[in-house]
Chain A
């Protein structure tokens, strides 16, 4: 199965900062990658799919890029509501795997 590795595991930042989270796949997944945001006690929320397509209703400060094995999620100007844990997820050969998560904390 394909493994997904996110970095960093924890990220401290301030409101207004630009932040980037990286996700690496153990083999090429084309652009079949999604990003989710999860807040404590809540289900994950789909933010971006197909590596760079913004889900409906998601603010434009979120963006995604990458293909093959390396992908990034960028938040252009952090808002208080963005402090959460972020997961990447891939689909390949009828299996789904998630990264280990990146916790975005207030500095």
Chain B
């Protein structure tokens, strides 16, 4: 059974760095062609893909946010970490992690999401 769960602060201040952790089970990121993504959704708005990390440690980022994002993995802990620098109130959103299985085009399993509010 595949599960993913996001964890991290519910509230961050403007200019701070956000660190979110995705802890997953039911698959391994050391398995060929497995990938984990981060996606966010501001309240009442559409979904926005942020980043992806692959089994071979390849990383891909949203064009508009790439300078602020870093994604990493700890395969032994079944965790993927997203950091986003210089947080702003417009970054207030529910942040999801989601798996893509081969060939990596779609998100077949999602976490429940973590709401992050950016406010002073």
Contact = CB atoms under 8 A, between A and B. Distances in A.
Interface of A: 1, 32, 34, 36, 42-46, 49-50, 55, 87, 89, 91, 94-101
Interface of B: 37, 39, 46-49, 52, 60, 62-63, 96, 98, 104-108, 110-113
A94 B46 contact: no
B102 to A, nearest CB: 12
In the A-B complex, the 8 residue pairs with the closest CB atoms: A43-B110, A96-B49, A91-B105, A98-B47, A34-B106, A49-B106, A94-B60, A100-B46
B3 to A, nearest CB: 11
B65 to A, nearest CB: 12
A101 B108 CA distance: 18
Given A43-B96, A96-B49, 17 more contacts: A1-B63, A32-B105, A34-B105, A43-B110, A44-B47, A46-B106, A46-B107, A46-B108, A49-B106, A50-B105, A87-B46, A89-B106, A89-B107, A91-B106, A94-B60, A96-B39, A98-B47
